[in-house]
Structure 1
Amino acid sequence: MFEAVSASTRWLLALGGKFLRVAPGPTLLTIPATLVSQVATLLAFLLPIKVLILVGSDGIPRYFANSFMQFDRDTLIVALSIATPAFYLLHLAMEQLVLKTSNIGAKRLLARSRKIVLFENQDDLAAASYRRYAEALANTVFIACVWLLLGFVFPLLCLLLVSYTLICIVGLGIAHKCSETLGNRIEESLSSLVAVLTSIGFMLAFLLLIQQFLVGAIQVFFIAIISLLLTRQTLNRTKRLVTAIVNLYSNRRKLNALFFTEHSLSQNDELQEEFWAMFSERARDSWLRELLTEHLAINPNRLNVNWHQTGVNDLVALEVLALDSSEKRLGRYLVRVYGKRPTLSATHEATLLLDESSEHLPAFPLLAAGQVGKWHCHIFSLTDKFAYVHPAQHTKSLLSSLWAFEPPADLAERYTRSHPMLWQRLDTSLIERLYMVAGEDNATIVRSLEEQLPDILFIIRSLPLTVVNPDININTLIQDDSGNLNVTYWGRWTLEPVGSDWPVGQRSLQELSELLQQASEIRPALREVDPQAVALSALLFKLDWLCTKQLYLDALKLIPELLKEVRDVLSDNQGDSPLNRE
């Protein structure tokens, strides 16, 4: 941690030097303006306390400053009451000045770097970082001034604050260095941790004040109140200072690319470098052994590791053969590590594959889900021999096997509560966009679709749900030596009405009935399903996909076939239309 503090300090000094060289005027103005704003805020909250004390007193209390004694009590109350909103207005004025000078300074820095636009909202990030840096410096000055002031009026409290701050810094540094787990937690939640520590610091300061009152060490009540308020403000500024530094340092790649001419926007950061360093030949054996021991209760003597291609960004997979001391096979596994944190796809995949019913899916058994350091990890059982196959050769048999899988009721209920279903995505906004594209020539078919929409939604909602995997490709579809198909990636699975993701070519729709019959032998709920309704689901899913990709002209060409399918379904089920029932 001390190395990280040293590195961040050097970077912050370099950033401040850049600000001063390129935009000295705005920088030198922003810092004192921020400090004035902070002091004005403090006074705006402090003066009402003095007013309340005066209102509750017969005269001016003796512990008030001597300069107040020359005024009449009522005059002083009026003056302080007027000063309170005046200081608050000063605070607002300084905040506006800081905002304007920050924008000016950031624009000068961006103009000096002479670079094209690097990412979205870069101007906002530059101005916010410029302002945050100035606020951090102003907070540093404020904290130092309060410490000096308390050193004169309340030395013991000053000693407590300085000692407590040093103890927290050293304690965090030691915890970070001695424990990797604690170190990771400190890095991930430093701002929230500092908030807790500052609250504890204020409690200690309050207890010290009470103790000093009880022993009679404090004679002036008003000084105690001021000291307590200054302590609170100091600890709040400390928390904001740390938060500002954490925010600035977390954006250092972008800020370096924006403000420093010699830097470009690199896609790699320290976290990615740490992630990829795990997979070097020297590093991976260690954590693989620990992972297998922890989750599978095996202790391999030797590991035979091969790379497994995933075709998914920030997802690394290793084929691991575990052998004991006598070279006897303990197991063969596919170990996948997700590089992004938090990994939504890893959690989503585990939700499906850890369910007992997943054994009926075309997927390798998921043996365990855990973590390797900061990253999610899944361990699958892997067959000895397999080959990558092209999905075009197996699309129909693979999708029919997905139809045969019946999602557990609890999983389906949780999913439908969390995600918009196909019948919810086909709404009036979609029709409005189709009207925009259709023009006068195709407006009639869009109108027909709009009129048939209630019937369409009724039909689709009545169909059973099935799992759809949009990531079936040549890198994720493999076949074992027994001819069984397995999909190795399920990070983006969805639940859709049966028929979704089925190819909509004329021949495919003709084959649909036979394959639906095959799936119904395993899943009885499909036996009463109308094949034409399934074909309609396939067409609607395709329509939704085309509109999502903004291929509206292609979507318009699909509508006539879709309307024909709707008419065929309704002609076979005259009593099932909600409009007919009305």
Structure 2
Amino acid sequence: MSRQLLGRLEGVVNDAFWLSSKRLQVNAIFFTGHRLEKGPENPRHRKLWQLLSLRDQPEKLLPLLERLGGNSLAAENTISCCWRQSGLPDILIFEVEVESPNSDPERFLLKAFGTRHKKAALNEADLLMSATGKALPSPELVGVDKLEGFDVHLFRLPFEEVAEKNGRGKFVLDRLKGCWQVEPSSGLVARYCRSHPLLHQRLSPGMLERLAAVVTDPVERSHIEELASRFQELLVELNNLPW
């Protein structure tokens, strides 16, 4: 409970800071005589998108690849980097290929998280490094590091054929099926339960009281009364459902 209260308090404080940074726009809405002005761009946001220069300067990835790979790369190695669409705001994806004259090329996927996705980056790393993550149908996580102050995850990509455009729907569906077939470890479930209230914990009799206050139809009111009489029984059933 204390963890949830602190989380809510943190959200209130963050919202207050966000509103303060948007005061020029807010004032223009509620006060006459104030002109709508665009607020200054967050320098951290601008710095994130400067990572797109990696396409033209892939040698910047050399220290990161050496740290996570555990091997020093020779001077004759060639690194190429290209940006890929992630479909998610403030998350950048790069496909990296390292070619060596004495060995087969290696392909990697570099995922960079913006500052507002720090928690998501931490959760993803914890999941993929756990026993559950090793069973998921996902690329191998080579390691986690920082790049220009941003959290980055490096994945190893196998040299396999890319799904054709017409077959991508089935490809994604097969991956989703594979994810649902993996049973999370007990430790992962326990950590989730400590930080996220389950359904039976989010329901309370007060919800039924509010429903009864707005319902005027006698039939619907009888349904609410029946639900209230079985409320504790339903909570027990929800608690016994598999996770």
In the superposition, the TM-score normalised over structure 2's length comes to 0.72
Aligned pairs for 1:347-358 (under 5 A) are: 347-358=122-133
Q: Is 2:200 the partner of 1:423?
A: yes
Distance 1:400 1:460, change over 3 A: farther
Aligned mates of 2:97, 2:197 — CA distance in 1: 41
Q: Specify which structure has the bigger relative contact order, considering alpha-carbon pairs within 8 angstroms and separated by 6 or more residues.
A: 2
The amino acid that maps onto 2:225 is: R
Aligned pairs for 1:119-518 (under 5 A) are: 125=20, 251=21, 264-266=37-39, 268-281=41-54, 284-298=57-71, 299=73, 301-324=77-100, 326=101, 328-341=103-116, 343-384=118-159, 385-387=161-163, 389-390=168-169, 394=173, 401-435=178-212, 438-440=215-217, 441-465=219-243
Distance 1:458 1:391, change over 3 A: farther
Shift of 1:454: 2.4
Larger strand proportion of the pair: 2
Maintained 8 Å contact 2:48/2:114: yes
Distance 1:262 1:353, change over 3 A: same
Maintained 8 Å contact 1:254/1:265: no
Distance 1:363 1:264, change over 3 A: same
Larger helix proportion of the pair: 1
Gaps of 5+ in 1: 1-119, 126-250, 466-582
The amino acid that maps onto 1:452 is: R
Aligned mates of 1:269, 1:337 — CA distance in 2: 17
Aligned mates of 1:254, 1:404 — CA distance in 2: 48
Aligned mates of 2:179, 2:87 — CA distance in 1: 22
Deviation per CA, 1:476-522: give whole Å up to 9, x if none: xxxxxxxxxxxxxxxxxxxxxxxxxxxxxxxxxxxxxxxxxxxxxxx
Where 2:82 maps in the other structure, the secondary structure is: strand
The amino acid that maps onto 1:413 is: A
User: For the pair shown, which has the larger CA radius of gyration, 1 or 2?
Assistant: 1
The amino acid that maps onto 2:169 is: H
Distance 1:459 1:294, change over 3 A: same
Maintained 8 Å contact 1:278/1:284: no
Aligned mates of 2:175, 2:211 — CA distance in 1: 33
Percent identity between the two aligned chains: 25
Gaps of 5+ in 2: 1-14, 29-33
Aligned mates of 2:109, 2:119 — CA distance in 1: 20
Where 1:336 maps in the other structure, the secondary structure is: strand
In the superposition, the TM-score normalised over structure 1's length comes to 0.33
- Equivalent residue, structure 1, for 2:10: none
Distance 1:288 1:432, change over 3 A: farther
Aligned mates of 1:390, 1:430 — CA distance in 2: 40
Where 1:449 maps in the other structure, the secondary structure is: helix
Maintained 8 Å contact 2:136/2:182: yes
Aligned mates of 2:229, 2:98 — CA distance in 1: 62
Aligned mates of 2:105, 2:169 — CA distance in 1: 31
Aligned mates of 2:108, 2:84 — CA distance in 1: 11
- Equivalent residue, structure 2, for 1:236: none
Shift of 1:352: 0.8
Maintained 8 Å contact 2:59/2:79: no
Maintained 8 Å contact 2:128/2:141: yes
Shift of 1:420: 0.3
RMSD: 3.4
Deviation per CA, 1:130-185: give whole Å up to 9, x if none: xxxxxxxxxxxxxxxxxxxxxxxxxxxxxxxxxxxxxxxxxxxxxxxxxxxxxxxx
Shift of 1:356: 2.6
Distance 1:282 1:460, change over 3 A: closer
The amino acid that maps onto 1:297 is: G
Where 2:153 maps in the other structure, the secondary structure is: strand
Where 2:62 maps in the other structure, the secondary structure is: helix
Maintained 8 Å contact 1:435/1:446: yes
Aligned mates of 1:382, 1:434 — CA distance in 2: 52
Aligned mates of 1:435, 1:392 — CA distance in 2: 47
Maintained 8 Å contact 1:341/1:374: no
Shift of 1:333: 1.1
Deviation per CA, 1:15-67: give whole Å up to 9, x if none: xxxxxxxxxxxxxxxxxxxxxxxxxxxxxxxxxxxxxxxxxxxxxxxxxxxxx
